[in-house]
Structure 1
Amino acid sequence: MEQYDIAVIGAGPAGLFCAIHSIGPGIHVLLLEKNLQPGMKLRISGTGQCNITHDGDIRMFFPRYGAHGQFLRPALMSYTNQMLIRFFEERNLPMEITEGGKVFPVSHKAGDVCEVLIRECQHPGVDLRCGEPVHRVENTPLGFVLYTAGDTFSAKNLVIATGGASYPKTGSTGDGYRLAASLGHTITGIGPALTPLLIRNFPFADLAGMSFAGLPFSVWRENRKIFDGQGDILFTHTGLSGPGILDRSRDIRAGDEIQLSFAGPVQCDTFEREFQNIISRAPTRSIKTIIAGLGIPERLARQLPDLAGIPADSTGAHLTAAGRTILIGHLTACPLVVSSPGDLSVAMVTRGGVALGEVNVKTMESKLVPGLFFSGEVLDIDGDTGGFNLQAAFSTGFLAAQGISKRVGKRT
């Protein structure tokens, strides 16, 4: 049985970064990857362009992880976005900041990011083995024993950095949840995040590709408002996508009703008075023309009256009070019922994972099993679009390496 100081399961961004920062005199690191090459999911991130992080003050990142942003505070502060940018630029991979603050390699090639990480792991102290899925882990008095299909390894410290369960074709099939659970950890409810929404009887399928900047919306569940949101939204052939939807998809469930305000951030009663004033000033103008005059795309302006049961070519003078109420409802709170969020095969990241209350926030070490660490998406954390998930992977990988260094230091 081959023995190591540190074993890292998963050679994605979190695992690679953890291995890189665990390198030290006399330290032997084993990095096991189930795929035939490292970083399979990283290679397709950002449509293959790799939005590696986001610009700005790192403290502005915390709210971008939903309710779990505070858990990431020590990791993000220990390894910030600016440190991550410098890491790659010092290794001859320059970065650029695009409109909106997204950070990409200048080459816009995710493969270039992978190559830097792999090159850094080509160190005498790191044993990178691909095509080695870990089937079982045991915690023994002498350390952790890892069983693969063809070999057995032991390590004094273990890092689970297997990613989540989204994009399973890249190898992210939830292996880390099974291994963590076998070692006594709680796994919170797993589900898709950063995923488009399928809408029941979607009325705008023929408008697929139409997008809206900063569109206000609200989400309702069993006649109770869950939250208000605002963001860029895109019509697809089957429902809704775009950053505004993707970022909040972690909180949306089948059966929820999304109400879109095509009229912008307005109160319904205020908008109704304004709408009536427009009709009063030009009673012979068609309904579709009035709606288009509000800044709503012409094709949508024709379709919204149809949804309200009103001929789009009818004039404001012929609009009944009841018809006006229904139409204004579609303009300010157009109701769309979620058939389901996109499943894990299309979700960019996974909601749920290793329960955060069982992990030391300052070291990423298990509170239940000494010497066991976690990093990346296997944890119950998921961030917004824009590079926040990759930053979390790198930062938690770094912090886990620091935590292991402290253990090794105490032992020596």
Structure 2
Amino acid sequence: MEKYDTVIAGAGPAGIFCAIHAAAPQTRVLLLEKNATPGAKLNISGTGQCNLTHEGDIRSFFSRYGSHGQFLKPSLLSFTNKALIGFFEERGLSFETTPGGKIFPRSRNAADITALLIRECELREVILKCGEPVRQVEIANPGFRVQISAGWVYARHLVLATGGASYPKTGSTGDGYRIAASLGHTITDVGPALSPVIAEPFPFSSLAGITFPALPFSLWRNGRRIMEGNGDLLFTHTGLSGPGILDCSRDIRAGDEIRIAFSGSVRRDALEREILAAIARSPSKAIKSLVAGLGIPERLARLLPECAGVPADSTGAHLTAAARNRLISMLTEYPVRVSSVGNLSVAMVTRGGVALDEVNPKTMESRLVPGLFFAGEVLDIDGDTGGFNLQAAFSTGHCAARGILSGANKERQHP
């Protein structure tokens, strides 16, 4: 049986980065990848341009992972966005930052990132085997027996960096959940995140492609408001997308209601005063023109009054108080009924995964099984759009490698 100091399942960003930093002198590191080539999902990230990370103080990242940002605090602080960029810049890649803070390689080619990572693995004599899914894992105590197509290998340390279950065509099919569960770990509810929302009914299909910048909205479930959001919103043929919706999709469920404030931050009473003043100035102006004068796109300005039961071509002089109230409701909290959240085939990342209370956030080591480590999306972590998920993958991969080497040093000092 071939023996290794560390076996890593999954050659995505978390797994490759872990392999690079776990490959100390006189250690044997085996990196296993089920696909024919490594980095499949990394290569399509950011539409192939690779939004590697985001600018700003690393502490501002903590709030970008829903309620699980505190778990990432040690790994993000120990390997920051600046450290990540520095790693690649020291090896010849250059980067650019967009006005919104996203950081891309200047080449806008994700394959450049992957190629550099693989070169670093080769320099450190990491053994990379592609087309090798992990079939089964058994605890050897100490260490693990890992079954691959060629038989069994022994690992003193095992890292599950198999990704989540989104974009299954890239190999992310939830293998890590199965293995972790077989070793006693809890897997929290898995579902799509960073995913568009499908609405039913959706009267704005003809407006697909229209984007609304920084639009407030709220999420309601069973008549209770459960969260508020604000961000760019995009109409699709079937519902809603855009960064604002994508970032909140981890919390959205079928049957929920999203109430959109097309009027922006203007409060209902202030909007009513504005509409009454506009009618007083031009009582013969069509309702659709009054609505467009509030900053609403022209095509939507025709549809919103119709949704309120108000003929778009009718005039302000004929607008009753009841009709005005309905129109204001459409402008300040338009209700969109969620039929479903886009499934895992279209979701950018996966919510849910290995339960975080069973993992040490300072080392990424299992609290249940000594020598078992986790990195990346296999954990119950998902971040906002903008490079936050890749940063988490690299930071947790780096953290797991440090945890492995620290534990190995202690073993040598106290055999």
Q: Same fold (TM over 0.5)?
A: yes
2:352 counterpart of 1:355:
no
Consecutive unaligned residues in structure 2, runs of 5 or more = none
Structure 2 partner of 1:149: 149
- Is the contact between residue 20 and residue 120 of structure 2 (CA under 8 Å) also seen in structure 1? yes
Structure 2 partner of 1:191: 191
Structure 2 partner of 1:174: 174
SS at match of 2:136: strand
Q: Cα distance 1:320–1:363, how it changes in 2: closer, same or farther (>3 A)?
A: same
Q: Residue type of the partner of 1:314?
A: S
CA separation in 2, counterparts of 1:69 and 1:216? 23
Structure 1 partner of 2:339: 339
Once the 2 structures are TM-superposed, how far is the Cα of residue 83 of structure 1 from its aligned partner?
Answer: 0.6
- Which range moved further: 322-331 or 164-173? 322-331
CA separation in 1, counterparts of 2:25 and 2:287? 75
Structure 2 partner of 1:121: 121
Once the 2 structures are TM-superposed, how far is the Cα of residue 12 of structure 1 from its aligned partner?
Answer: 0.2
- The residue correspondences of 1:131-280 to structure 2 (distance < 5 A) are 131-280=131-280
- Which range moved further: 187-196 or 141-150? 141-150
Structure 2 partner of 1:408: 408
Q: Residue type of the partner of 2:368?
A: L
- The residue correspondences of 1:80-99 to structure 2 (distance < 5 A) are 80-99=80-99
Once the 2 structures are TM-superposed, how far is the Cα of residue 270 of structure 1 from its aligned partner?
Answer: 2.6
CA separation in 1, counterparts of 2:326 and 2:142? 70
Residues 40-79 of structure 1: per-residue CA shift (max 9 Å, x gap): 0000000000000001100000000010001000000010
CA separation in 2, counterparts of 1:104 and 1:261? 32
Q: Residue type of the partner of 1:306?
A: E
CA separation in 2, counterparts of 1:50 and 1:135? 30
Identity %: 66
- Is the contact between residue 39 and residue 114 of structure 1 (CA under 8 Å) also seen in structure 2? yes
CA separation in 1, counterparts of 2:368 and 2:78? 23
- Is the contact between residue 24 and residue 125 of structure 1 (CA under 8 Å) also seen in structure 2? no
Q: Residue type of the partner of 1:31?
A: L
Once the 2 structures are TM-superposed, how far is the Cα of residue 258 of structure 1 from its aligned partner?
Answer: 0.6
Normalised to the residue count of structure 2, the TM-score between the two structures is 0.98
CA separation in 1, counterparts of 2:205 and 2:80? 41
2:312 counterpart of 1:309:
no
Residues 101-140 of structure 1: per-residue CA shift (max 9 Å, x gap): 1000000000000000011111364111000001100011
- How many pairs were matched up? 412
Structure 1 partner of 2:43: 43
CA separation in 2, counterparts of 1:98 and 1:215? 21
CA separation in 2, counterparts of 1:141 and 1:405? 19
Once the 2 structures are TM-superposed, how far is the Cα of residue 273 of structure 1 from its aligned partner?
Answer: 2.4
RMSD value over aligned CA atoms?
Answer: 0.8
- Is the contact between residue 19 and residue 126 of structure 2 (CA under 8 Å) also seen in structure 1? yes
- Is the contact between residue 162 and residue 175 of structure 1 (CA under 8 Å) also seen in structure 2? yes
Residues 77-99 of structure 1: per-residue CA shift (max 9 Å, x gap): 01000010011111111111111
CA separation in 2, counterparts of 1:211 and 1:147? 49
- Is the contact between residue 233 and residue 241 of structure 1 (CA under 8 Å) also seen in structure 2? yes
CA separation in 2, counterparts of 1:43 and 1:318? 58
CA separation in 1, counterparts of 2:85 and 2:145? 36
SS at match of 1:14: helix
SS at match of 1:313: coil
Once the 2 structures are TM-superposed, how far is the Cα of residue 266 of structure 1 from its aligned partner?
Answer: 2.3
Residues 336-393 of structure 1: per-residue CA shift (max 9 Å, x gap): 1000000000000000000000000100000000000000000000000000000000
- Which range moved further: 259-268 or 44-53? 259-268
Q: Residue type of the partner of 1:408?
A: A
CA separation in 1, counterparts of 2:196 and 2:237? 11
CA separation in 2, counterparts of 1:359 and 1:141? 19
- Is the contact between residue 185 and residue 355 of structure 2 (CA under 8 Å) also seen in structure 1? yes
SS at match of 1:134: coil
- Is the contact between residue 351 and residue 381 of structure 1 (CA under 8 Å) also seen in structure 2? yes
2:291 counterpart of 1:291:
yes
Residues 131-154 of structure 1: per-residue CA shift (max 9 Å, x gap): 000110001124100011232111
- Is the contact between residue 26 and residue 125 of structure 1 (CA under 8 Å) also seen in structure 2? no
CA separation in 2, counterparts of 1:11 and 1:94? 23
